[in-house]
A and B are shown apart, each in its own frame.
Chain A
Amino acid sequence: MTGSGIQPRPAAAPADPPPFGAGDADGLRVTGLGKAYGQVTVLEAVDLHARPGEIHALLGENGAGKSTLMKVLSGVVHADGGRIALDGRELTLGSPDAARAHRIRTVFQELSLVPDLSVAENLLIEQLPRLRVVGTIGRRRLLRAASALLDAGGLEGIDPRMRVAELSLAVRQQLELVKALRVEPGVLILDEATSALGPSESAWVLGHARAQASRGAVVIMISHRIAEVRGHADRLTILRSGHSVATGAPGDFDDDALIEQMLGRRVERLYPERTPARERVVLRAKGLHVPGSFGPQDLELREGEILGIGGLEGQGQRALMTALAGAVPFHGEIELNGEPVRYRTPRHAIRHGIVFVPEDRGAEGLLLSHSIRSNIALSSVEKLRGALRSIDPGAEREATEREARAVGLDVRRMGEPARNLSGGNQQKVVLARALLTEPRVLLLYDCTRGIDVGSKADIMAALAQLTARGVAVVYYSSDAAELVHLCDRVMVVRRRRIAGALDCGPALGEEDILHLAVGTRGDEEEEAA
């Protein structure tokens, strides 16, 4: 498809590959699938067998490899090893076109709709050459075909002429399904197709999934909502760290067993001793609301506290953090040490001592060609001025080395460019820069993602020191273990709301967070909302 050499294989390949699996109505069978991106192995040994007529759920933590598996099955990503067979015939899925030729249709999580094209053009994008009238696409034919698809899918309310970018995420997700159903799929893959949907739209999606299964299609559904899996899947397979670790009917596992399989063994302790949080409230938010993304919700943060923010990805945590950082407009009131404050930009927030450290080190202002020292000093140059208002080199050296030590950076390397550092050490530089601004409230967004265990331990130790001095930390992490072991309290966000707050202590386990995150425990189903 993309030019070089990869030929989409036609649906009926002339030379039939040797039979594999149980033959005709075997469904989709994946054996020993592996995939690595450079040094990082995402899939190691995945087996999956989804039969025709069943809805097969795929469960796993973030990063377990579910989405990569789906991408391999859709022909977007090429596997390094293993076999994929459909009804006993081995498939080569070299491109999205090849997968489509085998009637494998995917509802992508990162939607495949092109934002600047109309609904009609998107729905029929594979069909456009066939809709031509004297060379140009027949507009009437296009609109008629699109309307027919929308009607058949039960989305009569959508104007096929609208630009996709103007539609809400929920509508786009529904369109994605309608598009996948344009050709009767032999295999329908739903990659978190309900994650942006409310209850009635979710039911609509799952109704279509069931209808396809009843027709004899293989339906594979990735979902984080355990209740949804229990309610709709016939069988399930659990992935953990690139391996398929369990498979069976949903009834074979209770919730605890499911979650234990998803989490696997606990990570060893790398968390420091912490002095308990003080009583005094540093930051209080009332009715904090980022329309469409988070809240409205109240929030309190105490001196010396680490408040964990947990939950599945994309539930509104980022909106919460960026709102507190002043990077996103929000409604509601913020009190700092009892005083009401107003800020609209990160710059104002920093003046109030509220500092945000984002997850993306590269994109978020590490100047890779500059020295570690000047990177740490970057946000605090005003404080480091000496004679003639230029930066005082002595003060700069002293201050940056102090913070570098605090986060466990090697002070002998301060003159080296930041690009020489590993990801973990780069993250320490970002943290040291934030510390040098002398924050009262530190907002850390997934700052340990993808860094090595040693750096992680250094950062944790720095946070423990910091909170002992009274600084308050809001700590979002996609890793539930960190939340349990580092924080004083954990707030779990689900569907833009705080689903519950948990006090951390020896009794708290990761599964408690996961239960809240997926909605198997806690303030049950605000579904009607």
Chain B
Amino acid sequence: MSAVATPAERATRATGVSLGRLPRGQWGTVLLLVALVVADVAVQPNLADVDQIGLLLQTALPAVLLAAAQTLAVLSRGVDLSVGSVMVTTNVLVATKLGGIEGSHMWAIVPIVAVGVAAGLVNGALIAYGGLEPFVATLASWAIFNGVALLILPTDGGAVPTTITNLVIGKVGPIPSPYVCVAVVLAFWWFLRRSPLGVRILAVGSDESRAFLNGIDVRRTKLWVYGMSGLIAGLAGIYLAGATSSGTPAAGDGFLLPSLAAVVIGGTSLAGGRGGIGLSVMGVLVLTFITDLVTNLQLPSWVAIVANAAMLLLVVSIRSLPNVLSRKETP
């Protein structure tokens, strides 16, 4: 500490708390991710290549997007169980309704994106204005949209316009597009966190009644949250269609719990108000690299599943250690 105390230092001394600029656990997650990447590259040296990593990112991207959508809901002290089923809904729409549409006619994608937004807005309206618990409202829409997807396309198949496929597997200038997509997600969060809406979301998630006292429209904020969640989940479905060149109506549920796991591993508080999409993206990457590592070690696939769970427990336990050691007052 310098001779002259800065205001921050004075404040720290006055209140006896440390200046935790970064959320606790964030650095731990960063280190974990770096360790996993290093281990993975050690096992599989040809992974150390921009295109190879890009391929890994490409498979991870639907999960990245869903984790981003989930993060918004969790930040507002909610949950969105419908992210996976909204994703497969737009996914099968792309695979069935865009046959033969190419190039400059791609505006036809707009109504499909709108379906995702509409799904999210329905969730949001039920939660914000209908007074339903987020868990209940999105549990219902989880089932409904899974059903809708199967109605539109009963089995895997369909055809995806090559324009979309090329966008997903191609490059933007010299950069492989998966990198660009991840960058866009991070930029979206950077922008949102610094917008009044972002502050409102955090305020609502942190303490709804205090947010209300500050003149924040709690209900409209929640509507925004679930609307954006639906939008991002819808985009994930379009991306998935491009990545697999087909519609996969039953793939949604495999993404739901990992989206929550990624949020938790990243360090966004399930109690709302703290965390962010950047953290959740790290969470997805942790899960991706673990799975990849297990595959590269040629271990059976159940090991990957257990390893994912073990990672979740490990990260969460490390994070809660300080609380356990200094027992907090019970309410």
Q: How far is the CB of A261 from chain B (nearest CB, A)?
A: 31
Instruction: Report whether B194 and A139 are in contact in the complex, using a CB–CB cutoff of 8 Å.
Output: yes
Q: Quick check: is A112 within 8 A (CB to CB) of the other chain?
A: yes
In chain A, positions 120-149 with a C-beta closer than 8 Å to chain B are 121, 125-126, 128-129, 132, 135-137, 139
In chain A, positions 144-175 with a C-beta closer than 8 Å to chain B are 156-159, 161-163, 166-168, 171
How far apart are the CA atoms of A96 and B210 in the complex, in Å?
A: 11
Which among A95, A97, A157 is the interface contact of B11 at CB below 8 angstroms? A157
Instruction: Report whether B202 and A116 are in contact in the complex, using a CB–CB cutoff of 8 Å.
Output: yes
In chain B, positions 116-149 with a C-beta closer than 8 Å to chain A are 128-129
Interface 1/0 per residue, A78-121 and B, CB below 8 Å? 00000000000000000111001000000010111111110001
Dominant SS among interface residues on chain A: loop
Instruction: Report whether B217 and A117 are in contact in the complex, using a CB–CB cutoff of 8 Å.
Output: no
Stretch at the interface among B17-25, B82-90, B236-244, B306-314: B17-25
Instruction: Report whether A128 and B199 are in contact in the complex, using a CB–CB cutoff of 8 Å.
Output: yes
Instruction: Report whether B8 and A159 are in contact in the complex, using a CB–CB cutoff of 8 Å.
Output: yes
Interface residues of B (CB under 8 A from A): 6-8, 10-12, 14-21, 128-129, 191, 194-196, 199, 202-203, 205-207, 210-220, 272-274, 327, 329-330
26 contacts across the A-B interface (CB closer than 8 A): A3-B128, A3-B220, A110-B210, A113-B210, A114-B207, A114-B214, A116-B202, A117-B199, A125-B215, A128-B196, A135-B191, A136-B194, A136-B195, A137-B194, A157-B11, A158-B7, A159-B11, A161-B8, A162-B8, A166-B15, A166-B18, A168-B14, A168-B16, A328-B329, A328-B330, A329-B327
Interface residues of A (CB under 8 A from B): 1-4, 74, 76, 95-97, 100, 108, 110-117, 121, 125-126, 128-129, 132, 135-137, 139, 156-159, 161-163, 166-168, 171, 322, 327-329
User: For residue B196, which residues in chain A have a CB less than 8 angstroms away from its CB?
Assistant: 128-129, 132, 137
Which residue of chain A lies nearest to B272 when distances are taken between CB atoms in the complex? A116
How far apart are the CA atoms of A327 and B329 in the complex, in Å?
A: 7
A1-B210 contact in complex given A114-B203, A132-B196, A159-B7, C-beta closer than 8 Å: no
Instruction: Report whether A116 and B274 are in contact in the complex, using a CB–CB cutoff of 8 Å.
Output: yes
The 9 residue pairs across chains A and B that have the minimum distance between CB atoms: A116-B273, A116-B206, A136-B194, A159-B8, A128-B196, A112-B213, A157-B10, A166-B17, A114-B203
Instruction: Report whether A117 and B203 are in contact in the complex, using a CB–CB cutoff of 8 Å.
Output: yes
User: For residue B217, which residues in chain A have a CB less than 8 angstroms away from its CB?
Assistant: 1-3
Instruction: Report whether A166 and B199 are in contact in the complex, using a CB–CB cutoff of 8 Å.
Output: no
Instruction: Report whether A126 and B14 are in contact in the complex, using a CB–CB cutoff of 8 Å.
Output: no
User: For residue A162, which residues in chain B have a CB less than 8 angstroms away from its CB?
Assistant: 8, 11, 19
Instruction: Report whether B14 and A111 are in contact in the complex, using a CB–CB cutoff of 8 Å.
Output: no
Instruction: Report whether B273 and A115 are in contact in the complex, using a CB–CB cutoff of 8 Å.
Output: yes
Which residue of chain A lies nearest to B17 when distances are taken between CB atoms in the complex? A166
How far apart are the CA atoms of A139 and B7 in the complex, in Å?
A: 18
Which residue of chain B lies nearest to A327 when distances are taken between CB atoms in the complex? B330
Instruction: Report whether A163 and B20 are in contact in the complex, using a CB–CB cutoff of 8 Å.
Output: yes
Which residue of chain A lies nearest to B14 when distances are taken between CB atoms in the complex? A157
Instruction: Report whether A137 and B207 are in contact in the complex, using a CB–CB cutoff of 8 Å.
Output: no
Instruction: Report whether A1 and B206 are in contact in the complex, using a CB–CB cutoff of 8 Å.
Output: no
Q: How far is the CB of B20 from chain A (nearest CB, A)?
A: 7
User: For residue A135, which residues in chain B have a CB less than 8 angstroms away from its CB?
Assistant: 191, 195
How far apart are the CA atoms of A95 and B211 in the complex, in Å?
A: 13
How far apart are the CA atoms of A327 and B199 in the complex, in Å?
A: 36
How far apart are the CA atoms of A96 and B273 in the complex, in Å?
A: 22
A3-B210 contact in complex given A136-B194, A329-B327, C-beta closer than 8 Å: no
How far apart are the CA atoms of A157 and B4 in the complex, in Å?
A: 12
Q: How far is the CB of B52 from chain A (nearest CB, A)?
A: 35
